[in-house]
Structures are given as structure tokens and as C-alpha cells.
Structure 1
């Protein structure tokens, strides 16, 4: 016959629990003191998954540097809730598997808010990871409508959506008097979303004619078949909704094949390297939320960025800076790092000033105004062409 002895540790804990019932307030303070001290005294961790490797690695530093600048400025003013902010950056590589690993790493590290997300296709699989752990996401760049179609309450976009970008593209093509438009995408979530919406919006009475929807495979070095198909359709405008690496090759190969029409890209096309890849990107247009050098009010901010990082800020740097500022504001208003409280604070934001203007989220947690403008490549860099007002 065996005898089971109650472990001494259990007896001690039981006695302590009984004592807690008798003196609940003082006991609770004693039991939780270490946890509270750790929570209240340590830094508040923000997580950022952006490209650090792969074909879009050039964009990552623009975003992470700008986010760090915001963290440093907030900390210099005393932090948030009496605590410092800390930024942890992980690689998304514009790849779903890499981004998923990055999200899991950030969750394990204990981030309270995610302020990253560049490629929509890589950001999409991270949504349920952060949502499951009740971690709010303030996404500065990725903007496929699929991101909000899932209706996850922890997801907020501070870049215009694919729906809004498509509307801007259609407005510009109509304004330009385009007659026949070929639309190309690379089959990623962001690119396909904008392309399908734009192609469906063509062929309106008196507007541009849709000349077909074509696809390419990202990462290839020869887009000969796509170029042949485009030339066969004889468009006067080509709208490519993918990223600058493939866009640069398409521009180069289309021109080498004799295409003399105009070229419009989506925001993934906007990068200083486009001209290098294309050989000549003069006159190429793009739909884009404003970049730092197209914002008159960003002059002092650009100087601060250049002083700290010895480099010029690029696409999505202001949005990343604002993502951190917004996260800090929401935590401050919530009076807590609890995810549900932060979500309520974000939903209640009304007039918080971003570079794009005063913020108030729609019920879908998107911007009420996408803020897209038309940029044009001039001398190798994109400058403001039309604000579409």
C-alpha cells in the first residue's frame, strides 16, 4: 500500500493562499509586487517586421530608421507611462515564411504593439499570429485590401488601401486621356488587388479602354513573353502594380522592344533604384502616398533623420515614424499596455496629426482618405507631379 505525501511547497502555497483570503489587499500586493515592478519599470517593447534581406531589402532601413527616430524622440521626452520605448526589428524579407517566423519571434519577445509590415503578401500570414496574442498592429506600408477584409480587430492601416490606390490610378489615367491600358501584376496580394480593381474600373463610358490583365513572376530576369503580349495589345499606357525590381526590368525591356507609350506604377515602384535597373526611368509615373521630399512640412524632420543616420529618408519612412508615434499615443491614452485597451484607444483617435493629415480611422480601421498622389521620375528620383485634389 502506497502513501502519497503532500509536497511541502504545496502546503506552503496553500497556507499563503489562506492568509490571502484573510488579508486580501495586502497579500495581493505582496504576490504581484515583482510582476508589477517588472511590467512598470522595464521598457515597452514595439515590434517591427520589415525587409532586411531579399529583393526589397533596400526599403527596410528607411522604415526601421524612421521608427527608431520616433522612439528616441519619445524617450527623450520621458517615454510613455513613465517607461521607455524599445524597438525590436526582425526580417520579413517580403516572404511569407520569413515574416511568419519574424512575427513569432516578436511575440515571444513580448512586444506590445507591432509597427511593421511592408509587403502585403508577407504581412498577411502574420495577422492571425498577432491577433491571437491580442497584439495591436499599426501597419505603415502594406496596404492590400485583404489585410482588412479579414476584419481582425487588432489590425490598423495608416497607408491608403489597394482600393483607394486603384481609384487614384483610374483618376490619373482618365486625367491623362489614356485610350488603351494594359495592366500587369506579379500575383502577390498587394499587386493583384490593385490590378484587378483597376482593370475592372476601366472601360467606363468615355474613359480608357482595358486592353487586358497580364501577370509576371517576381524574381525573373527576362520578361520577354509579357513584353510580347503587351506590345501585341498596342496600349498607350502600361500600369504595373508590382515592385521596383521587376518594374525596372519591364520598363527596360519594353522600351528595348519598341514600346513608346507611357508607364504608370503603383507605390511599390517608388524607389531610387528604379532608374538604375531601368537604365532610364524618366517620365515614369507612380501612385504613391507622399514621400518625405514631397511634404513641405517634413523639411525639419528630414534634417533630423539625415543628422542621425547620415542618409536620406526614403519611401514609407514618414509612415513608419508615425506608426511609432501613434502606438505611443494609444498606449498613453489607454493608460496600459493591454492589447484590448490599446485597440479601444486607437478606435477613439480623432485628429491625431500624422504626416498624411489628421487621423480618424474608419470602422474598418483604415484611413478615411488614402492620400494618394501622382509622382513622376525626374532625373532618377520621384517628385510630386499631381496631388489629385
Structure 2
């Protein structure tokens, strides 16, 4: 999940007629580790399609927003007016998605995010917006039930970063564990800060059985390091924003070991869930010299939705959008199919355990034990 894994593929669509699909997200910022994999997954799918020498080839053009809405909005406008994109994979994060979607709606450009999970995104009535991944209501309920069922936690401390992603995810986890009888306490951190001593002291005083953090791995690693240095030994859990080896790098492997990361995404290089997962993993590794990581399969599936539209003869943005409402094909992470709201028709939550620099799959949150 390092920047060096970005190679292989590129933006050349080859000769002949073609269309341009964009990919937008944080490709060089501190949380790029969870955006480069879906970009690579999308590139793999498009390169495979172009290799069949179709009548209409697809160019994947990347837009590095660094996850910031103020950068994403002008990039989206340029993508529409100057690059003539007919679709966008992304934006990757929820905050930038909230700001970019109105621009895409006005331009009548369909989008499929592989990773933006904020629940409210699906409640805006947008006609051109879709996502391939389950939302934070699904994720928060899944990890909350795992905390009370598998960990048997009676006291849960929830921390979030006040973002459009982290706060509602933390709130859903808190509501879920409370509904299962757990006692909770909540605190927020400033993701731009570096000293989380006040939060650490609150956690120590509460003496929880488990801690859940809603936010991204860059800050999560710093927080976890300070919790452990402060003598807090409770099991640390987080959501998809922390599903990256950067969490252990920031916290120190010994501090991070045993942490549980939940995600409505599938990383299954061994093919435990399906043969398609192993086939995808083998192709991904061969192309990028790296194992598939967070949202790489979802990036592949998001691109697949657009590829199926083009294969069916749709080359304008509005025709592609109309096709997305009826696409129904097998993907790597799930069946690629959307509800009228743009939400995926199917979604599972999976849990992973930090073991050194690796994040092996434990299983579905509803079934897994540790």
C-alpha cells in the first residue's frame, strides 16, 4: 500500500475511439495508502478491458485531490469541462464526495465511489451518484455487534475525529454497543493535533474493555501509540479508515498488535470467501508487485460498472448513468448492482487483525471470533 505500488498501467487508452473515466482521491497525501489501492484496482480492470481490443477503449485519468474538498471541486469542474470525462470513480473520501457530488449532478456525470462510506451521502436524492461499498450505518452496526458479541465488552470508549466520516461512524458504534447493554463514553480529537493526552487521560479514568476510533490511520496510529504509552491496554478497534499498515507504523507494531479493524470491504488474497478473490489477488500482485489492499477490489468493481456500460454501447455520460441503474454482474467484492438511491444492493462487514505489518482477514463481523 505504498506509493511505489502505484506503477504498472497508466493513462494511455491506446488507439481508436475512446472515452475518459476519471479517478479522484488522495493519491499523495498522508492517507493515500487507502486510495492508491482502489486506483490500482480500477486501472487493472480497465487495462484488462482495453487488452481485448474493444471498439471503444477507456482512458483512466487521475485527479489527486489529497482528500480535500477545496481541491476536489475545481478538479471536478476541470474534469468535466476540459477533459470531457463521462464518469468518475470516486471521490474516495466522504467529505470531498459531499462537496463534489453537486458539481457532478449539475454536469450530469455519473460517479461510483469505491470507498466513501458516510451514510448521509445516500440520502441527498442525487441521480448520478453511486457507491460500491456499504455505508457507515452498516459498518458501525457490524463492528459494534462484534465488540459486544466476540469481545464481550461491557465498557466501550468511543473516540472520533469530528470528520464527516469519523463522527457518524463513531456515533453508530456507540449506539449499537449501548443497545447491547454496554456502558459508553465518547471523546473527539483534533486530527490536525499531535498531543492527545487529554483524551488518553479520559480513557484511563473510564477503564474500558474496548476502544473504538472513528477516523483515519495517520491520526489513529499516533493516538494508539499515546494510549499504550499512557498505560491503556484495552483492545483497540477502528473502521475502514485505519485499514492500512500505516496504523502499525504510526503506533509501533508492538502497540498495534491485536488491534481489530472493520471494513465493509474485502481483502482476501487467499480466496477464503471465493475463488474470484484469489484470482483477482494474483492478477493484482502480478501487475503492481504488491498484494491487494483496502478497497482495491472495490476499485476494480467500480470500474467494472463503467466497463459494462461501455461494453453495452453507452458512450455518453447520461447513457452510462442510465445503464448503471440496471447493471447486475458478478464482481470481486460483491455483486455489482445498485439500489435506486445509488447504494450497493449487497454489503458485508469484515474484520481484520493487526499482526505486525500485516492485516489478515478474520472473517465476517457477524460470525468471526478472536
Q: TM-score, normalised by structure 1?
A: 0.84
Q: Confirm whether residue 133 of structure 1 aligns to residue 107 of structure 2.
A: yes
User: Is 1:143 aligned to 2:113, yes or no?
Assistant: no
| Cα drift, residue 237 of structure 1 | 0.7
Which residue is equivalent to 1:42? Answer: 17
CA deviations 1:179-212 (Å, max 9, x no partner) are 01111111111111211222223322x53222x2
What does the per-residue CA deviation read over 1:103-152, in whole Å, with 9 as the maximum and x for residues that have no partner? 12211211001012221112211101111111101110111112112120
How many angstroms apart in 1 are the aligned matches of 2:354 and 2:52? 39
SS in 2 for 1:178: coil
Structure index of larger Rg: 1
Query: Which residue matches 1:166?
Result: 140
CA distance in 1, matches of 2:270, 2:262: 13
How far residue 41 of structure 1 moved from its aligned partner, in angstroms, is 5.4
Rounded to whole Å, the distance in 2 between the matches of 1:133 and 1:237 is: 45
Larger RCO: 1 or 2 (CA < 8 Å, sep 6+): 2
Q: Matches of residues 1-389 of structure 1 in structure 2 within 5 Å?
A: 42-79=17-54, 82-108=55-81, 109-175=83-149, 176-204=151-179, 207-210=181-184, 212-279=185-252, 280=254, 281-288=256-263, 289-293=265-269, 295-296=271-272, 297=275, 298-333=277-312, 335-350=313-328, 352-387=329-364, 388-389=366-367
Contact 1:292 1:315 in 2 (8 A): no
SS at match of 2:360: strand
The answer to which structure has the higher helix fraction is 1
Q: Which residue of 1 aligns with 2:10?
A: none
TM-score w.r.t. length of structure 2: 0.88
Distance 1:132 1:41, change over 3 A: farther
Q: 3-state SS of the aligned residue for 1:43?
A: strand
Q: What SS does the aligned partner of 1:239 have?
A: strand
Q: 1:381 to 1:88 in 2, by over 3 A?
A: same
CA 1:336–1:368: 2 relative to 1, 3 Å:
closer
Give me the whole-angstrom Cα distance separating, in 2, the residues matched to 1:311 and 1:101. Answer: 32
Report runs of 4+ in structure 1 exceeding 4 Å deviation.
Answer: none
Aligned length: 344
Describe the shift of the 1:386–1:305 C-alpha distance in structure 2 as closer, same or farther (beyond 3 A): closer
Q: Unaligned stretches of 5+ in structure 2? A: 1-14
TM superposition shift of 1:361: 2.0
Specify whether residues 172 and 320 from structure 1 end up closer, same or farther in structure 2 by C-alpha distance, changes over 3 A only: same
Equivalents in 2 of 1:359, 1:83: separation in Å?
22
Q: Distance in 2 between matches of 1:236 and 1:292?
A: 29
RMSD of the TM alignment (CA)?
1.8
